[in-house]
Amino acid sequence: MNRICCLLFLFLQLSSLGAQPDTYSLESSVNFQKFGKKDGLPSSKTKSVFEDSKGYIWIGTYAGISRFDGHSFYSFKDQDNRARHQIEQIIEIGDYRILTRDSRGSIDIIYKNRVIEKIENDIARYAVSGVHNFHNKYFIIIKHPRNSHTTILDFYDAKTFKKVKSQFFPFYASVEKTKENNILLLVETEEKKKNLELYKVDGNNDFHLVEKQDLPPLAEPFSRSYYISEDRQYQYDYQINDYKIDKNQRAVEYSKNDLADFNLDKTFKSEGYFKKAKNNHLHFINTSNQVYDFGDLAKLCGNIFIDRQQRFWVCSESALYLFPSVDIQTMSLNLTENGNDEIWSMTRKDDDYYFSSYDFGLFKTEKDFKRTKKVKTENLFKNSNVAVFGSTKTPKNGVFIPHMSSILYIDEKNESHVVDLGYNKDVFSSAIHPITKDLYFSSYIGIYRLDEEKKKAEELLKLPYSGINSVLDIDFDKDGNLIAMGSSGMLIQENNEWRALILEKTKGYSLCLDSYGSNWIGSKNGLFEMKTDKSLKEVDFGFPLPWISDLKVYKKKWLLIGTVDELIIFNLDRYHQKDEIEFYRYELVQYFANDEGGQNNFFEDEDGAVWWPMNGKLVKFYPEKLIQDQALPCPSIFGILLNIENKPQQLSPSNEEEVIEIDKAHRELIFQFATPLVMNRDIVKYKTRLVGLNDKWEIIDNSNDITYRNLSPGNYQFEIQASIDGKNWTKSALSNPVTIGAYFYETLWFKVLIGVLILFIFFNFIKNYFQKKQIGLETQNRLLSLQQDLNKMELSNLNKQLDPHEIKNLLASISPEIQENAPNAYRKMLKLLNITKASLNNSSMTESIKNQVQQVEDYLSLKKNTLSVPFEYFIENKIEDQSASIPRLMLKNLAENAVKHGIKNNINGGNINIILTEENQFISLIVDDTGKGRNPDTLSDSGIGTSTYQNLFEILNKKNPDSATFEIIDKTKGTKVEVRIPKNYKYE
């Protein structure tokens, strides 16, 4: 499918054009990224490169070592903060530790962000030539005593870093370790003879000679050579021999005129070999004979390393170079000095490729790209100075070549036909009808169908039409209806009728039909799916899409989305079958060595490769290999920092299992992480959680650290996963366990103690509650009992008062009066009735002062008439609130006691004074008589109801804040009773 600027490739035979082509050199080149001191390296002079098991790239420079996480460099320094010497070798030993060897022979063991062990060698006595990892249990240091032609192998424990054994060899030897963890020695005797000795090492680290092979003398014992070691490093250095060791551990002599050809490890996705070119450049040549130029050999001084993503890392004296994957090939014609060839389209016929340049015309190249020729078309078109836009193959095996205002059609017999369209009708796109197989194409202001039989173009629609002013791309839906798209909207043909769809969603540059029947729209506002009912659905990638320049369905499963900034590969199967969005992003700068997207459509080659024309280059890549390389590794946690007063301090455990213990005063942790191998960290999402704090995952974007504040004491472990699409996540990476100390009041024993104390208080509260409730019930029972006693007492008094003798005496005393003075006698009868009524009708425990004063006055008035001895009484009531309550019948009973025990038995009678006053929120009741007084032998008998009132107050005082008092005072003549009751006294 073609796009905005005629995205098609020329494909015609030179014999039919009748012109002699010009010849150009189509060079395959490799763009690169360059790193130096300004990018964070300790030195721009680099010596060695290594990739660890987690995917980090380690770079040995002339001033120390750095670790690259795909985005930035972290440089290691000595404890005195000085940079280190030249790093000669980098290997990995057990538990993700990195071992480095510098030019002095010093060995450093690095874990995460810290040097955890240093092994110093006596450089005055020994020259250290290498280090090898052995079974991940030991590492071997190769030393050569300076005063003798001998070799020493020191075995060190990979966990304790202690030397466990030394092996002495009475000759000088270069040492290599085989895949089977055997030791291969290249022996050089004092007589300059050389031989290979292969040793097997048993479980006790004892050496057993397996095979010995003599080597012929060398013509150039110190010639320059290249070899591949078992850790996948391509070494370039001055070596002591001109031989390489094959898979059978045999010495094979190098070619004298050229470098040997080496196949890459089978785990690589491409194979090839290095070669020294005539211009002294280093070339890598893959199995398709595609050449990658790594520049002048004289500038190389260290390793050439291939990482897991098939990227080449090249050390040099000036910088560290990173070259793209060998799965990506970039080629250019170099038609201009600045390399901007303006290539718009490409296609292939048999073994020949055709491509077109907007400014320079039509070109043809052979399959091996060794020779490229320009096709002259001046004699075919009216205007020979205008551009050729592209080409496509027709259903009848013809070639369709658009040009400004005309097209060139070459039929199956290679006969050329020019079709003139008219002024300003430049053809930009074409499409094949899915049912009739006719070729349709569009100019900026019209849509046409090509009649291959008549060699004519039929105009189907002329623009502007219904608000649509231009057409930039055309395609068909699954039913064969034509769809045209432009900068002002979309036109859809149904039943030979056109209708316009003018929406912001439908303004764009690219259309594409997938195998599921959906049309895809690359608009100015993103990617949209047009379903069979012509409804539109936007695909949310989680980030804004730049200008989409082209779309192509690849192998029915993938949708290639080309923008001006990047390539996106979108999984159609996952989208249609599971309604999930899975995609992969590739920056043009990183992967395709360019700063602008393709000018035309993708072209799929016969071997599954996709060619993408760019401004100045042709880029070839394999989408599924890119996807395979893009598979995210497990993220790595490379730093744990403790934030103390806004000054982060690195915590440096020595292994993965070590528990990091943090003082109780510090509660803020920072975890640093990265996904190695991924150069563009903006495309990676992370899912994190701190086990021990919260089991829920937190999604974070575009960040390489996370901070946890105000952590409580306890055990924690940081966990992280990575994803590109937010749906498919990697396995978890776990940090070292972290333990934060606690203050005494945060400890378990303190909390247990507080818990026990709370339980004790709670149980005591419950106990007291039920005890109080029990006491309350008992009090209620006692009050009920007292109420019953009062009732009995009153019944007893009533019985006494209603005694026939008493009634007889009372009636006898008042009968004359009834006769002589009826009204006064009647009043006395009422007083008797009031007393009787108070005893019989009141069921309450209390009664108002007003009623009780009336009762006592009635009682004493009647007693004064019936008693045989004379007495006088006086009542003084100073209580303002006459409705205030006191215990029922209290005044009457106290007055009755005074009459019974004091006045009645006294020959001279006496006086009774009753005084009621208020003082300091208390009601004071005084009943004072001048009678005989109490008998000393019967003091316990205080009269009617006295003990009842005393018991009542004793019970009620426990429920009231202020207590009532009941006091009996024995005088010389008579008895005095004083009662004090708080005004707010409760009787419940």
Hey, what are 422's tokens? 């008219």
Token look-up 């103390």 returns 644
Residue 248 pLDDT: 42
The Cβ of residue 924 has, within 10 Å, a number of other Cβ atoms equal to 17
- How many Cβ atoms from other residues are within 10 Å of residue 487's Cβ? 15
The mean-pLDDT minimum among 385-399, 451-465, 869-883 falls in 385-399
614 vs 419: which has the higher pLDDT: 419
Give pLDDT, residue 443: 83
**In the chain, what percentage of residues exceed pLDDT 90?**
12
Distance CA 255, CA 261 (A): 9
Tell me what the mean pLDDT of segment 976-988 comes to.
90
Higher pLDDT, 874 or 93: 874
Highest mean pLDDT among 212-216, 385-389, 562-566, 900-904: 900-904
Residue 212 is inside which H or E element, if any?
strand 207-215
**Rounded to whole angstroms, how far apart are CA atoms 859 and 962?**
32
Write the CB contacts of 380 (distance below 8 Å, at least 6 apart in sequence): 17, 408, 416, 418
- With cut-offs at 50, 70 and 90, classify the pLDDT of residue 575: very high
- Contact by Cβ (8 Å): 438, 449: yes
In this prediction, residue 121 carries a pLDDT of 79
Give the Cα separation of 800 and 797 in Å (integer): 5
Percent of the residues in the chain that have a pLDDT greater than 70, as a whole number = 71
In this structure, what DSSP letter does residue 903 have? I
Mean pLDDT within 671-694: 81
Task: Provide the pLDDT confidence category of residue 255 given band limits of 50, 70 and 90.
Answer: very low
What's residue 32's pLDDT?
67
Helix (H) or strand (E) holding 75: strand 73-75
Residue 185, both tokens: 């020695």
Range name among 331-345, 898-912, 955-969 with the lowest pLDDT average: 331-345
Across the range 180-195, mean pLDDT stands at 69
Confidence category of residue 927, pLDDT binned at 50, 70, 90 = very high
Q: Please say if the pLDDT value at position 17 is more than 50.
A: no
Report whether pLDDT(195) > 80: no
State the helix-helix crossing angle for 890-898 and 748-801, rounded to 10 degrees. Answer: 60
Q: Which residues pair with 137 in a beta bridge?
A: none
User: Quick check: 538 pLDDT over 50?
Assistant: yes
How high is the pLDDT of residue 785? 73
Q: Is the pLDDT of residue 258 over 50?
A: no
Q: Which of 484-488, 717-721, 770-774, 783-787 has the lowest mean pLDDT?
A: 783-787
> What integer pLDDT is reported at residue 572 of this predicted model?
94
What does residue 164 show for φ and ψ, rounded to 5 degrees? Answer: -110, -20
Identify the pLDDT of residue 118.
84
Side-chain half-sphere CA neighbours of 349 within 13 A: 17
Is domain 847-982 in CATH 1.10.3720.10, yes or no?
no
Helix pair angle (946-957, 890-898), 10° resolution = 140
According to the CATH classification, is domain 331-621 in 2.130.10.10? yes
Is the model's pLDDT at 886 over the cut of 80?
A: yes
Whether the model pTM is above 0.85 = no
**Pairwise CA distance, residues 500 & 485, whole Å:** 10
Amino acid at 54: K
**Above 50 in pLDDT, residue 523?**
yes
Check residue 254 and give its pLDDT: 37
What is the spatial distance between Cα 27 and Cα 365, in angstroms, rounded to a whole number?
11
pLDDT band at 978 (very low <50, low <70, confident <90, very high): very high
User: Per-residue confidence at 175, pLDDT binned at 50, 70, 90?
Assistant: confident
Shortest CA distance to 733 belongs to which of 595, 851, 801, 638?
Answer: 638
Pick the more confident residue, 543 or 683.
Answer: 543
The backbone torsions φ and ψ at residue 25, rounded to the nearest 5 degrees and listed phi first, read: -100, 110
Select the highest-mean-pLDDT range: 297-306, 386-395, 400-409, 440-449: 440-449
Distance, CA of 347 to CA of 357 (rounded, Å)? 13
Residue 577: its pLDDT value, please? 93
H or E element in which residue 332 lies: strand 329-332
What is the pLDDT at residue 980? Answer: 95
- The CA distance from 548 to 156, in Å, is 58
Give residue 466's region: left, alpha or beta (phi > 0; psi -120 to 50): left
Among the ranges given (269-278, 592-601, 813-822), the one the predictor scored with the smallest mean pLDDT: 592-601
List, for residues 835-845, the tens digit of each pLDDT value: 555 554 556 78
Q: Look up residue 89 and give its two tokens.
A: 């070798």
Q: How far apart are CA 72 and CA 57, in angstroms?
A: 11
Which of 139-153, 237-251, 472-486, 807-821 is least confident? 237-251
Q: Is the pLDDT assigned to residue 688 strictly greater than 70?
A: yes
According to DSSP, the residues that pair with 714 across neighbouring strands are 740
Interior/surface letters 723-746, b for 16+ CB within 10 angstroms, e for the rest: bbbeeebbeebebbbbebeeeeee
Confidence at 708, pLDDT banded by 50, 70, 90: very high
Contact, 559 vs 610, CB < 8 A? no
Beta bridge partners of 273: 285
Give the confidence band of 518 by pLDDT, cuts at 50, 70, 90: very high
Judged by average pLDDT, the poorest of 617-621, 743-747, 911-915 is: 617-621
Residue 811 has pLDDT above 60, yes or no: no
CA-based nearest residue to 892, from 859, 914, 916: 859
Answer yes or no: is pLDDT of 126 > 80.
yes
DSSP calls for 411-435: -TT--EEEEE--TT--EEEEEE-TT
pLDDT tens sequence across 759-785: 999 988 898 888 888 877 777 777 777
**Banded pLDDT at 724 (limits 50, 70, 90):** confident
CA dist list (Å): 869 to 457, 494, 908, 933, 939: 154, 135, 7, 15, 24
Most confidently predicted of 175-189, 618-632, 685-699: 685-699
Q: Is the pLDDT confidence value at 267 over 60?
A: no
Mean pLDDT computed over 885-901: 88
**Average pLDDT, integer, range 721-728:** 80
What are the DSSP E strand ranges found in 576-625? Answer: 583-587, 603-604, 610-613, 618-621
In angstroms, how far is CA 409 from the centroid of its own chain?
58
Q: Give residue 914's pLDDT band: very low, low, confident or very high (50, 70, 90).
A: very high
pLDDT tens per residue across span 427-483: 778 888 888 888 898 888 889 998 888 888 888 988 888 888 888 889 999 989 999
For residue 716, pLDDT over 90 is answered with yes
Considering only 695-704, 910-919, 922-931, which range has the smallest mean pLDDT?
A: 695-704
pLDDT reported for residue 939: 58
pLDDT given for residue 26 in this prediction:
44
Pairing of strands 910-919, 871-877: parallel
Residue 247: predicted pLDDT: 41
> pLDDT tens, 202-230?
777 788 887 776 665 543 332 333 333 33
Please state, in angstroms and rounded to a whole number, the distance separating the CA atoms of residues 434 and 531. 17
Q: How far is CA 685 from CA 71, 565, 593, in A?
A: 15, 20, 25
| Length of the chain in terms of residues written | 988
Segment among 45-54, 726-735, 792-801, 818-827 with least mean pLDDT: 792-801
Mean pLDDT, residues 189-195: 65
Question: What mean pLDDT is predicted for residues 966-978?
Answer: 90
Whole-number average pLDDT of the chain: 75
Q: Is the CB of residue 272 less than 8 Å from the CB of residue 264?
A: yes
User: What integer is the mean pLDDT of 412-428?
Assistant: 77
pLDDT at 262: 31
- Burial readout 266-278 (b: 16 or more C-beta within 10 A, e: otherwise): eeebbebbbbeee
Class of 636-744 in CATH: mainly beta
